[in-house]
Chains A and B, each alone.
Chain A
Amino acid sequence: MYEFDFVKPTTLADAIAALGAEEAQALGGGQTLIPTLKQRLAAPAVLVSLTGIGEMQGIELGEGQITIGGATPHAAVAAEVAAAYPALAALAGNIGDPAVRNRGTIGGSLANNDPSACYPAAALASGATIVTSNREIAADDYFEGMFTTALEDGELITAVRFPVPEAASYQKFEQPASRFALVGVFVAKYPEGVRVAVTGAAEDGVFRWSEAEVALSADFSPAALEGIDCPAEGMIADLHGTAAYRAHLVKVMTRRAVMAAAG
């Protein structure tokens, strides 16, 4: 690592003030940022830890919606929303390993927007609202491509609000080495329709598979997907799979998610 200063504010206001400094960088659970620093691929002057801010912590189970503080670790989500939103809890409980789940935060994951991360699929499929330090952003407007989001400099995710669906499931096919999603599909059924979000597969990061959404909104069953294929264009091709393979997996995982959600 290069040298940096470290601050751990206890209020959102102090965090935002600290982030105003030159070359300041917010630090959530550090599951991406710390390895990046160790490889000397980033050189912030000051790290602003978000884990000491009470107003960014915790989970609120409301009527038909769940609000999760931006600095809430995955393990807390896995434990606390299991009854209210089991598919979301299952997703959180299957990110990385226990150490990752006890450090990594939902806000950190969504701010980073790794194209293979799990949470972006949950947020997009749920039509979640990303609550930031100065506004609310609909998930549909938030994800702008691989490692790119609508967040502005110094803007922090303070909470994420998930409307609870009637039925949902997240199916992750793991990349053999990293165990990130080679393809992950989150299917969520709401009264107004079905949303299908895909992570891991596309060069532009998480996306909604609208053709499947239309079919599943009409008939929420695996049969509805027959005859629909996800195009390979724009899919990631690497050591672990071709674009065609990923496109194929999108359909397989979508079908499995529907079966699991409907079952």
Chain B
Amino acid sequence: MPKDHGIGASTKRREDVRFLTGAGRYTDDINLRGQAYVHFLRSDMAHGRITSIDTAAAAGMPGVIRIFTGADFEGIGGLPCGWQVTDKHGQPMQEPAHPVLAQGKVRHVGDPIAAVVAETREQARDAAEAIEVEIEELPAVIDMKAAVQEGAPKVHDDLTSNLCYDWGFVEENKAAVEEAFQKAAHVTTLELVNNRLVANPMEPRVAVGDYDRAGDESTLYTTSQNPHVIRLLMGAFVLGIPEHKLRVVAPDVGGGFGTKIFHYAEEAFCTFAAKAINRPVKWTASRSEAFISDAHGRDHVTTIQLALDAENNFTALRTETYANMGAYLSTFAPSVPTWLHGTLMAGNYKTPLIYVNVKAVFTNTVPVDAYRGAGRPEATFQLERVIDKAAMELGVDPIALRRQNFITEFPYATPVAVEYDTGDYHATMDKLVEMADLDGFAARRAESEARGKLRGLGVNCYIEACGIAPSNLVGQLGARAGLYESATVRVNATGGLVVMTGSHSHGQGHETSFPQVIAEMIGIDESMVEIVHGDTSKVPMGMGTYGSRSIAVGGSAMVRATEKIIKKAKTIAAHLMEAAEADIELKDGQFSVAGTDKSVAWGDVCLAAYVPHNYPLDEIEPGLEETAFYDPSNFTYPSGAYACEVEVDPDTGKVTVERFAAADDFGNIINPMIVTGQVHGGLAQGIGQALLEGAVYDENGQLLSASYMDYAMPRATDVPFYQVDHSCQTPCTHNPLGVKGCGEAGAIGSPPAVVNAVVDALRSGGSGITHIDMPLSPARVWAALQG
């Protein structure tokens, strides 16, 4: 019988009450006394040299308080990059300056040139239109391969080229990989594009800067997934504000998907301007602004090759990828196509030799950074597509080919530098075959064909690395930050708990699932535990939420802090019951002395801690509050097997997803309902990437898909009722909860399933097609059918 409380229970999300009744408090709901508004004048040109900015007329417009340009930020830091990648020659990447407001040049459509602060939004916008900017247009660099050609126009004049880095992984394996390809019985080659995406969280970005002159303290309210990271980056590298004089608050945040990890110019601007004019300054992005200023995702162009021996064993894999950085390096951009991508190229398979080459390229486009999955979807997509193509070429069953090459023994050290602790890939595949009724596919295909439709089945596996990340390891790989997490557990005198966690919740349901863990540990009701997050003045230094890390890293910190609480509470209980500490047991919120009927309740112990009249003051301090920092010893490795069935209308090229089954291994699970919801959301985004979404630039660097009129988001009618299972559980061996993380799996595992299915459908109709690039729009599928 399923549990009704604690770990493993599908407790309803307590935060939904406020979200669904309009009581959420988002950044745009924050309005401060005397608040002014900023409007950014953004470049409508992809590449150009600013020859003059005349703000005189604009400055005299009604309501204008002050106009800022790049000149106001001379001598102030630019936006820092949080990860330095070293190239295959051992040289650091090329790292251009990233000014808050453009200095000298504009480098993408949307690059901020000037900022007008005025009494109202409309006045700021009116005045921005009156600023006279002269820009000498320069040729735009959009195509990555063209960008790295000799003589291509340079995005950054002071760099030697548009190549950020040329990364080889593992460089020492390159020769052995070449040799294995020479000896291969079969080589499958596939060229593909991982399409550029716009994250499109429901809530656009917002920033409110505030300055308290009395205390010389700055506060930034912002739509962030990691307020401490913003405080550190903005305070230390941009504005020079020490952390004790800077508070960053990320209240309710309406979705992030990665794009709200990064430190953005608008945040630094609002904080800076609030001090400059001594008034709060607010910016709320319009949806149009979001398209041209939120970091985009993906955008890889890859050639992948798989070598097999005569028995169809994978013997080697090599890839060459061009990864778009956009015009500047966003906060974690360099890590995405390298350490979050190359290290996953083994997938679920025991391929002994792997070489990954990634060329990161600057172009005159919006910066590209982590988006749900970040590097791992790109790795999974190419690997699972090339395996399907190999199966096609060899005439073997794609599931059998995968099974034959599965890793079956754990721990398993891959040739790409990571060690999988646990997994059971046959178990998830077995579960998938059963739940997706793959045996019934032939009959369903026949039924579709009778209606003139083509039906296809796509199956694939995925593995990802979550629980980001062991700090000493990522430090060696170039991270300029640690990736631990923190938790403070504060027990109140009457027994309730407040947990201050560095993990940030922007849709994940932490306020529900985290209390389940603590309630289980102590044996009290979940309602006695409150979660506080998103405010650097309340929470110890924490690294925030991304990379499916919250329960694995943040949850572990919370467990460690709670263990300290329980240890101290047992000391108090032992004193109260005049027993030995070693004999104290905690169960269902009662401390008892083993072998006796003596017990004392949780609440009595808490009260004793704060009213220490009868208390072991010579042994321990009063109070009951503990902090823990948890740094994981490894990544976690969720895995799974997905199956997608599509129907293609050959007359129009329209693809409909008829069935989608996902069998995931997330290790232990805290709240199955929330996990199911996370998988559903991930699948919708993955299906969106596969069928609908695509950010497209023209050759001049204009974003053609700059609104919902042209950027196709998935809607409820575009996805089927999913079959989702997470009963296959191989618990993580190195964190206290045995959890792996589930936030990105759906988005990682689903795109190859959809594309595999569409290719299968088209081939069933006699087409010789082997690949179509995403998004598989009706026009593209129809064109492919025409040959």
In the complex, what's the smallest C-beta–C-beta distance from B58 to chain A, in angstroms?
15
A135 contacts the other chain (CB 8 A): no
Also in contact, A240 and B709, with CB within 8 A (given A1-B122, A249-B652):
no
A82 to chain B, nearest CB (A): 22
CB-CB contacts of A1-37 with B at 8 A, as 1s and 0s?
1110000000000000000000000000000000000
Given that A248-B782, A249-B652 are known contacts, is A178 also in contact with B708, CB under 8 Å in the complex? yes
Q: Determine whether the beta carbon of A177 is less than 8 Å from that of B783.
A: no
Contacts of A54 in B (CB 8 A): none
Q: Is the CB of A176 within 8 A of B705?
A: no
* B758 smallest CB distance to A (angstroms): 15
Q: A39-B288, A176-B692, A252-B652 are in contact. Are A241 and B708 (CB under 8 A)?
A: no
Chain A 109-125, CB-CB to B under 8 Å as 1, else 0, gives 00000000000000000
Interface string of A216-256 (1 = CB under 8 A from B): 00000000000000000000000111100100110010000
Q: Is the CB of B288 within 8 A of A252?
A: no
Task: Give Cα A256–Cα B288 distance, bound, in whole angstroms.
Answer: 37
Query: Does residue B201 face the partner (Cβ distance < 8 Å to A)?
Result: no
Q: Closest B residue to A3 by CB, please name it.
A: B122
A173 at the interface (CB under 8 A from B): yes
A146-202 contacts to B (CB < 8 Å): 173, 176-178, 180, 182
In the assembled complex, the CB of A91 is this many whole angstroms from the nearest CB of chain B, namely 18
Please name all residues of chain B whose beta carbon is closer than 8 Å to the beta carbon of A249 when the two chains form the complex: 652
B690-742 interface with A by 8 A CB criterion: 691-692, 696, 704-705, 708-713
Q: How far is the CB of A249 from chain B (nearest CB, A)?
A: 6
- Whether B710 lies near A252 (C-beta < 8 A) is no
Residues B709 and A178 in contact, CB atoms below 8 Å apart: yes
User: Contact flags (1/0) for B751-787 with A, using CB distance below 8 Å?
Assistant: 0000000000000000000000000011100110000
Chain B residues whose CB sits within 8 angstroms of the CB of A177 once the complex forms: 692, 705, 708-713
B61 to chain A, nearest CB (A): 13
Beta-carbon nearest neighbor of B777 in chain A: A176
Are B783 and A245 neighbours in the complex by a CB distance under 8 Å? yes
> Which A residues are in CB contact (< 8 Å) with B126?
2
Q: In the assembled complex, which residues on chain A have CB atoms less than 8 Å from the CB atom of B782?
A: 245, 248
Q: Is B4 an interface residue (CB 8 A)?
A: no
User: Considering residues B653, B691, B712, B713, which has the most beta carbons from chain A within 10 angstroms of its beta carbon?
Assistant: B712
Chain A residues with CB under 8 A of B712: 176-177
Q: How far is the CA of A252 from the CA of B779 in the complex (A)?
A: 14
Digit string of B318-358 for contact with A (CB within 8 Å is 1, else 0)? 00000000000000000000000000000000000000000
Q: Which of A47-84 contact B (CB under 8 A)?
A: none
- Residues from chain A with Cβ under 8 Å of B129 in the complex: 40
> Smallest CB-CB separation from A97: which chain B residue?
B715
A176 to chain B, nearest CB (A): 4
**Given A39-B288, A178-B708, does the pair A241, B652 have CB atoms closer than 8 Å?**
no
Are A239 and B704 neighbours in the complex by a CB distance under 8 Å? yes
Chain A residues with CB below 8 A from B708, complex form: 177-178
- Enumerate chain B residues within 8 angstroms of A2, measured Cβ to Cβ: 126
A227 → chain B closest CB, angstroms: 17
Among the listed B288, B691, B777, which residue makes an inter-chain contact with A240, where contact means beta carbons less than 8 Å apart? Answer: B777
Question: At the interface, yes or no: B29 with Cβ under 8 Å from chain A?
Answer: no
Contacts of B711 in A (CB 8 A): 177
Tell whether B439 is near chain A: CB-to-CB under 8 Å.
no
For residue B651, CB closer than 8 A to chain A, the reply is yes
Neighbouring B residues of A3 by C-beta, 8 Å = 122
Of the candidates A1, A40, A240, the one whose C-beta lies within 8 Å of that of B779 is A240
Main secondary structure of the interface of A (DSSP, over half): loop
CB distance from B66 to the nearest CB of A (A): 22
Residues A173 and B779 in contact, CB atoms below 8 Å apart: no
Do A173 and B652 form a contact, CB below 8 Å, given A240-B777, A245-B783?
A: yes
Residue of B nearest to A249 (CB): B652
Contact across chains for A242 and B705 when beta carbons are under 8 A apart: no
Asked if A176 and B778 make an inter-chain contact with CB atoms under 8 angstroms apart, the answer reads yes
Could you tell me if B710 and A239 are in contact, using CB atoms closer than 8 angstroms? yes
Report the minimal beta-carbon distance from B481 to chain A, rounded to whole angstroms.
37
Q: How far is the CA of A249 from the CA of B696 in the complex (A)?
A: 23
| Cα distance A3–B704 in the bound complex, in angstroms | 29
Which residue in chain B gives the minimum CB-CB distance to A242?
A: B779
Residues of A near B651 (CB, < 8 A) are 252
Say whether A241 contacts B709, CB under 8 Å. no
Closest-CB distance, A47 to chain B (whole angstroms): 16
Contacts of B692 in A (CB 8 A): 176-177
Residue picked from A176, A177, A180, most chain B C-beta under 10 Å: A176
Contacts of B125 in A (CB 8 A): 40
* B783:A178 contact, CB within 8 angstroms: no
Query: Within 8 Å CB of A240, what residues of B?
Result: 710, 777, 779
Could you tell me the distance in whole angstroms from the C-beta of B440 to the nearest C-beta in chain A? 29
Q: How far is the CA of A180 from the CA of B712 in the complex (A)?
A: 12
- Contact in complex: B709, A245 (CB < 8 Å): no
* B778 cross-chain contacts in A, Cβ below 8 A: 173, 176, 182, 241
- Residues 638-651 of B, flagged 1 when their CB comes within 8 A of A and 0 if not, give 00000000000001
- Shortest C-beta distance, B462 to chain A (Å), equals 26
Docked pose: A245 CA to B712 CA in angstroms: 19
Q: Is the CB of B783 within 8 A of A242?
A: yes
Q: A241: which B residues are within 8 A, CB to CB?
A: 777-779
Q: How far is the CA of A252 from the CA of B652 in the complex (A)?
A: 8
Q: Chain A's nearest CB lies how many Å from the CB of B701?
A: 16
Residues of B contacting A40 in the complex (Cβ-Cβ under 8 angstroms):
125, 129
Interface centre among A242, A245, A249 (most CB of B within 10 A): A245
Residues of A within 8 A of B704 (CB): 239
- Chain B residues whose CB sits within 8 angstroms of the CB of A176 once the complex forms: 691-692, 712, 777-778
Name the residue on B nearest A240 (C-beta). B779
Q: Which residues of B contact A178 (CB under 8 A)?
A: 708-710
Q: How far is the CA of A177 from the CA of B695 in the complex (A)?
A: 12
Kindly report which residue of chain B lies nearest to residue A252, judged by CB atoms: B651
Chain B residues in 8 Å Cβ range of A252:
651-652
Complex formed: what's the CA distance from A233 to B609 in Å? 84
CB distance from A99 to the nearest CB of B (A): 14
Of all chain A residues, which has the CB nearest B710? A177
- Report chain B residues within 8 Å CB of A173: 652, 654, 778
B6-30 residues with Cβ-Cβ distance < 8 A to A are none
Q: How far is the CA of A180 from the CA of B696 in the complex (A)?
A: 19
**Nearest CB of chain A from residue B33's CB, rounded to whole Å:** 26
Which residues of B (87-110) have their CB < 8 Å from a CB of A?
Answer: none
User: A182 CA to B779 CA in the complex, in Å?
Assistant: 10
Most interface-central of A3, A180, A239, A240 (chain B CB within 10 A): A239
Task: Give the distance to chain B from A110, nearest Cβ to Cβ, in Å.
Answer: 20
A248 to B696, CA, bound (A): 24
Chain A residue at minimal CB-CB distance from B708:
A177
B652: chain A residues at CB < 8 Å are 173, 249, 252
**CA separation between A249 and B777, bound complex, in Å?**
14
Residues of chain B contacted by A239 (CB below 8 angstroms): 696, 704-705, 710
Closest to B718 in A: A176
| B129 to A, closest residue via Cβ | A40
**9 closest Cβ pairs, A-B complex:** A177-B712, A241-B779, A176-B712, A178-B709, A252-B651, A245-B779, A177-B710, A176-B692, A239-B704
Can you list 10 residue pairs at the A/B interface with Cβ under 8 Å?
Answer: A173-B654, A176-B691, A176-B778, A177-B708, A177-B710, A180-B709, A239-B710, A245-B782, A252-B651, A252-B652
* Given A245-B653, A245-B782, A248-B782, 5 more pairs with CB closer than 8 A: A177-B713, A241-B779, A242-B779, A249-B652, A252-B651
